[in-house]
Amino acid sequence: MSEQNKHIADFMLGEEITGFYVLRRADLKTRRDNKGFYLAIDISDSSGHISGNVWDNADRVAETVQTGDIVKVKAQVQSYQGQKQISIIRLRQVVDSDDVNMADLVPAVEGEIDKLWQDYTDLADNLVNPFLKSLLRKFTEDDEFRTAFCETPGGKMWHHGYRGGLLEHTIGVTKICEKLSGLYTQVDQDLLLAAALLHDIGKIKSYQHGPTFEYTDAGRLIGHIVIGNQIIVDKIKKIPAFPEELNTRLQHLVLSHQGKLEQASPVVPMTAEGFILYYADEIDSKLNAFYRIKKREHKDGVKWSSYVRLLGQFFYFGERDEE
C-alpha cells in the first residue's frame, strides 16, 4: 500500500489519515439535538474496517456516495467507547485520475488461489464412488464455476470474509471430515466428503463479487443452502442412473449442514455423516473467526478479546506469543 494510503489496521489515535477505502455503510441520521444530520459510515480495506461519522454537510455528502463505492477519505482518528473511530474531514467518490489499487482494498485469502484450487480438485478426484466422482467433475471441469468459487467469500462478516474464503473454508471442512471419517469407519466416507466439497456452493450466487460482498437478492430471499442444493440437483439430473438413495442422502447433508432450524438449516442432521459435517463446519468457521479476531486484537498486555456479539461471549488469548 502506498505511503499515502495507510492500512486501517495501522491507524493510530490522534493522527490524520488520507486515502482510498471501500464504503461499506453510509446511514444518514438525525442528530440527538434534532438540529441537522450526521452520516454514520463504515470503511474498509484489505486489513480491516473502521466506523466513523461525517458531521459537516452530512446530507449533501450522503447524496454523493452509496454503499459499495470506492471513496477518498480525509479523517482524524479518535477513540469512542474504547474503540478507534474516525471523524471525517472530507469524503468523496473516486475519479478517473485517482490511482487506486484494488488489491489494497479487497481482503483476500493468504494462500495462493491456484494452489487451493488444486487441493480442492485433488480431494474431488480421490472419491471412489463413480456417481459422486462424476458429480464433482461437473463442477471441477466447469471454468465458470471455478472462477466464481475462487472469488466468493466464505461469509460476509463472521468467518472467511474475503476473496477465496469459500474455497479455503470448503477445503478446511473437507479435511476435517476426512480425518473424522478415518476414526469412525462405519461412516460413508465418499458421501461425507462429496457433501463437504459441495455444502456451501450456493454462496457463489448468494454474494456479489464486489468490494463489499453484499448479498444478492437470491441470497437474501432464498439463502445459500437452498440455492446450493438446487445447483446440485440440477447437476445430478445430468448423470444417468444416479441412485435415488444416494441423491437423497447427499441432499440431506447439504440441507442440514448448519445443524439447527434457527440457524437456517431446512432440516436438522439425522445421519452420522450429517453430524460430522455440521461439527466440521462449526469447527472451521469458529476457528477462522477466533484467529482473525486474535490477529487483530492480541496486543501486548491484552489477554481477552472484545465482546463477540454473535456468540455472546469473549475469547481468551492468554499471554502474547513470543515473536
Question: Are 249 and 191 a contacting pair, CB within 8 Å?
Answer: yes
Q: What is the pLDDT of residues 130-139, one digit of tens each?
A: 999 999 999 9
Instruction: Supply the pLDDT for residue 61.
Output: 93
Question: Are 86 and 77 a contacting pair, CB within 8 Å?
Answer: yes
What pTM does this model have? Answer: 0.85
Average pLDDT, the chain: 92
State the residue for C-alpha cell 477465496. 164
The confidence band for 3, taking pLDDT boundaries of 50, 70 and 90, is very low
Rg of the chain over all Cα atoms, to the nearest angstrom: 22
Q: What is the pLDDT of residues 187-238, one digit of tens each?
A: 999 999 999 999 999 999 999 877 878 899 999 999 999 999 999 999 999 9
The confidence band for 4, taking pLDDT boundaries of 50, 70 and 90, is low
Indicate if the pLDDT at residue 145 is higher than 70. Answer: yes
Q: CA separation (Å) from 17 to 6, 11, 90, 296?
A: 7, 8, 11, 20
Indicate if the pLDDT at residue 140 is higher than 90. Answer: yes
Indicate if the pLDDT at residue 323 is higher than 60. Answer: no
> Would you call 121 exposed, middle or buried from its count of C-beta atoms within 10 A (0-12, 13-18, 19+)?
middle
Instruction: Supply the pLDDT for residue 235.
Output: 98
The confidence band for 156, taking pLDDT boundaries of 50, 70 and 90, is confident
Q: What is the pLDDT of residues 161-178, one digit of tens each?
A: 888 999 999 999 999 999
Distance CA 47, CA 6 (A): 10
User: Who wins on pLDDT, 3 or 62?
Assistant: 62
Instruction: Supply the pLDDT for residue 322.
Output: 54
Indicate if the pLDDT at residue 111 is higher than 90. Answer: no
Indicate if the pLDDT at residue 264 is higher than 90. Answer: no
The confidence band for 113, taking pLDDT boundaries of 50, 70 and 90, is very high
All domains of the chain, ordered by start, with CATH?
A: 8-104 (2.40.50.140), 113-290 (1.10.3210)
CA-based nearest residue to 230, from 239, 222, 242: 222
The confidence band for 287, taking pLDDT boundaries of 50, 70 and 90, is very high
The confidence band for 2, taking pLDDT boundaries of 50, 70 and 90, is very low
Distance CA 11, CA 7 (A): 7
